[in-house]
Chain A
């Protein structure tokens, strides 16, 4: 045996086998490169449930385990003194070194931030098992490098390069090499022992790693004994690994297998297996009750393979002498142990790992497998490289040549004893220092861990931190604005960044809840019929805040004194740290509402989504716009900024009536299915037509359209006219006067001012056209409009908007994009169903529109135009006095009359109208009604509606007998040549003009929907019905309450004949002659 000396193999490095390995390595590392370039997700099948794949289970865990050959062989030979196996030591150390090399490379690819891999050297976290593994692996790799040094140095020393330059380098390096060799030889024993200790530490720690996941690792493997089992299995696999590697290498290099030596070497293996098996089976026996073999069949199969083929079978084989004497059987048995331990590691890290909630099981991706195979191939290549060029594998010494080791022994002896001891000392200091430092960190970690537990245990109650709410505050929410809302509180606005407050419709809720006040108000009704409920005192007496131990009412005695309290008196901010039991205001509102809404049947229309009650709040657009410094937006670029995020919205806009000025007209009789009707083919009383007048048209259109192509151009949309919140933007303002950046950053939901910027000025000036719309509505008194003045409703609260199509019916604009009604909020029984009077008023709804009673007069505070006479235009008259502050004569339009506080005209209206369209023939001798509402008493759909009627004298084409469009701007208003202006106007409309004009009287209806008066100011019974005709008072003259104003007195005594019942088709006052349904259906008789 002494003949065996480590030598370089005499085989060439490049063979078909190594070429194939190179290909495999190249494939593997190309996947590795892909992982570096594209990230883990691109190459691996790892996910949040399986953070560790085969790169950890095979490259790292199995790699470390199978590298155990290094430390077990070193211990076997050097520590236990079995020097006869020394020829096996160097290959074993090389294999171990390669194994750890694979761990390091594998980890580099596996960790997410490989560039941060040095961090554990600086940031020590002694409680972490993985930290222990990392430090030990790093230290052991150093140790292995030292152990690898002798053969490498020997190889380098004997290398004689042919190139002269290299040869001279080698000559100079000779001395340091000799020195290093001497140092290594002296300190090697210290490092060998350190290597064994370090290996024991991290081999076991690799098992401890998974002890932290008791709920994830299958009980087939999970045990607190995992570290012991990992260490014992590593000891068990070390020697078989060396045997296997030795046999394969021998075969590869054509050596005779050293069966005798290996057989002796294997004698100890059954003992090692039996120690591990005893622990393993003992552990399983102890935990037998926990283990369920049926839970995960695939895991059970893997477990059985690991036990039978990886443990029992090799134990039997290695115990047999015949096996130990046969190279083939030795290889088989070793292979079984090696694969068994590798399977054990894969089982613990992957197959037995059952994370909760995981959908599909992990299976390695092609890239993972390829890189692992490539790494193994690389290892084999490096192995071959080392054994080819360095004296690693022992073979019989050729006669006459002195072994490299023997040569260097001479150098060893040459070292002075002082230096020898110095070397040993430095090595000892190095090793002990490392262990001491490491232990110190652990001791510190223990202290930290115990301190944390101690804090948890003994810390006294202290006030928790308050919630920081500044982050939620919206930039520019006007304070005055929000106080108008019903369910609003500064408390809520502190934390709310999503929604505007709810406009709570009390009446609807009152009616729908059957007027059970106690449902919402804090009087606890005992059942649904109990409308009064228990006193608030009783309820709150029960709600004692257990945290403080005191009932609310102990301090808040006034809770019982007043009947109603503001909710916010008790319900404060959410998450109050002092009183967590107290529900915050937001929670109180929501629980109150949501609990009820969820419990309603579908027919109740109780929404349960957020936006049915709240309007979403527009976020601060300053950070979203990201306007670069020192750049100013302009009219041309600002829309592009909006479209950057809202391009879909742009396409929506192009489909709206506000953009196209034409669309579906379901309310125009005879044109119900047309889509071509719009401002292009109707004539009105005020501007006659906008189309020929570009300045007016530009002002009223929501974009800058001048060319035909502009109608399809998204960038021509003017978003700001509707979404400006700064009130500094106007369509007709010049480019320089607008602070574009400021306006764009503060965009928001349209306010009344935005809609009003056009609609309050329609007809050519403030309040001219709509009697019920005027600039006053931007910020009205409740007297002017209750909805807008009292509860601050915006236009779109009623004119519900979907994809920028705005619901509502205008008598002037023909297009309808959706219908609205009061019932959406006020329900089917707006006046309540609980009292006789309420029911009686409610019965009116079938016949009388809400507006009729609730808008007793229109233009209440702001005058509106009642008539205009275009035939008198063009004169310089000053004789006609102003009316209500408005001119009685305007050179551009002619004589005008104005009115304020006007009683509407009441007419039946079923929802559709006759509309004059350009080209329709007229009878010039009669008054032309441009848009006559359809409906009469006998139409059950019709209701009595209030209208404004505007009268005009406007030009017409005498020859063609039709109304005409007029070009005012730069034409009529320059020289008042009607014929020229009409000819120009008709040309713009695509029509011809005969050249002869006359003037005709026209009437135009405008339905009245706004300026809803407060309830007290709406019409009383006696405003329409004469007091003596009111039915109930005929009998109940002396009954209590019958002298109430709503019964016998007029709210508006100045207008005694408000309703002309005869004109509406009744025989007389329907309170006497009977309602229309009595007569129409002939089902009953009118009361006498």
Chain B
């Protein structure tokens, strides 16, 4: 789908609430997180060897149930897997060398987990604020207030949040929380990055990682695609990907550069800012009602033209 900001802006201007365009313009420039104090993680798919240690570390840190197939087993790569309630991160295998200068390698591996968007759709969507973004950028979940509407799962452009459909009374939305414990209030501390044997995962400040990623691209233009996935995707993500093949070949989705959360928030804020529009509509309708009521009381005859008048009133 071709969805860009200009296109969207045009529609917002033309039809929707008065203040939406201004908000959009304002926020669109803010989506670049180069100098954020957010932490992040850089995934270099040319270094990943598919050992699944990150999955194991994640499983242990989050005390997830023991998987049916052992973490040392490579047969799981036969099908593309997605994060689930029992595995917040998974590694997938894609045929072909990870980069043009690694022709001896027959497969590319890419880790999937929550990308911790700088402007997360799920946080914007959450009805009660069960999903929040911490100071250092981790998107964390508080099951105590969650009511299980699963709108976050609809909202997430990366198809990450998973749900415990089998739990009867207290199902939770499960996803990578950057190992930032909501209850204890600890910051991001990813077990997967600490476990990675080849340091294909580098955890650090997002701004430093961006510099590092671009440095690697500049150093090895023959190896890397000159695009840091996550730098601008949906307004920027905390997890960045460096790839030796086009990102869409290794399970990453082509994304617009603006955050979808901004679209809905612009509409919502435009309509409800200071309650102007609801009040105005209430006043106008109330006035019309009062006027028509008086007119009906004055002439008790039914007005055969009233239908036509309704139309005119609405056209106004």
Contact = CB atoms under 8 A, between A and B. Distances in A.
B285 A196 contact: yes
B209 to A, nearest CB: 6
Nearest to B166: A41
Given A129-B264, A211-B267, A224 B16 contact: yes
Given A123-B129, A213-B154, A594-B198, A112 B147 contact: yes
Interface string A76-119: 10111111100000000000000000000001001111111101
A472 interface: yes
A1018 B11 CA distance: 86
B146 interface: yes
A435 B202 contact: no
A594 B203 CA distance: 21
A498 B129 contact: no
Interface in A198-225: 200-201, 204-205, 208-216, 219, 222-225
A586 B197 contact: yes
A950 to B, nearest CB: 45
A32 interface: no
Nearest to B155: A212
B209 A193 contact: no
Interface in B220-264: 236, 251, 253, 255-256, 260-261, 263-264
A927 B105 CA distance: 63
A435 B278 contact: yes
Given A82-B303, A222-B1, A580 B129 contact: no
Contacts of B161: 48
B260 A214 contact: yes
Contacts of B95: none
A130 interface: yes
A75 B215 contact: no
Contact of B261 (A76, A212, A587): A212
A452 B119 contact: yes
Interface stretch (A439-447, A727-735, A819-827, A966-974): A439-447
A467 B194 contact: yes
B77 interface: no
B72 A611 contact: yes
Interface residues of B, number: 139
B247 to A, nearest CB: 13
A286 B11 contact: yes
A575 B1 contact: no
Contact of B269 (A40, A190, A200, A442): A442
B292 A461 contact: no
Contacts of A47: 165
A373 B205 CA distance: 53
A192 B47 CA distance: 65
Given A81-B295, A215-B255, A456-B33, A113 B162 contact: no
Interface centre among A44, A115, A212 (most CB of B within 10 A): A212
A125 B27 contact: no
Contacts of B286: 190, 193
Given A212-B154, A212-B264, A587-B199, A189 B289 contact: yes
Contact of A574 (B29, B194, B307): B194
Contacts of B130: 123
Nearest to A455: B36
B37 A436 contact: no
Contacts of A469: 194
Contacts of A432: 279
A577 B196 contact: no
Contacts of A127: 124, 261, 264-265, 268
A358 B211 CA distance: 34
A251 B164 CA distance: 47
Residue of B36, B72, B289, B311 contacting most chain A CB atoms (<10 Å): B289
Contact of A290 (B1, B29, B147, B303): B1
Contacts of A132: 268, 272
Contacts of A609: 72
A205 B165 CA distance: 27
A443 B274 contact: yes
Interface of A: 1, 36-42, 44, 46-49, 51-52, 75-76, 78-84, 107, 110-117, 119-120, 123-132, 134, 189-190, 192-194, 196-197, 200-201, 204-205, 208-216, 219, 222-225, 227-228, 264, 267-268, 271, 275, 283, 286-287, 289-290, 353, 355-358, 431-432, 435-436, 438-440, 442-443, 445-446, 449-450, 452-465, 467-469, 471-472, 495, 497-498, 546-547, 574-577, 580-581, 583-584, 586-587, 590-591, 594, 598-599, 608-611
21 contacts: A46-B165, A51-B154, A81-B303, A112-B148, A112-B150, A113-B148, A123-B145, A132-B268, A209-B264, A213-B154, A213-B155, A215-B157, A224-B8, A355-B159, A454-B30, A460-B37, A464-B37, A495-B194, A546-B215, A577-B205, A580-B212
Given A79-B288, A125-B126, A574-B194, 15 more contacts: A112-B149, A114-B148, A116-B146, A131-B128, A214-B256, A223-B11, A287-B7, A442-B272, A445-B265, A457-B29, A461-B207, A464-B208, A574-B193, A577-B205, A580-B212
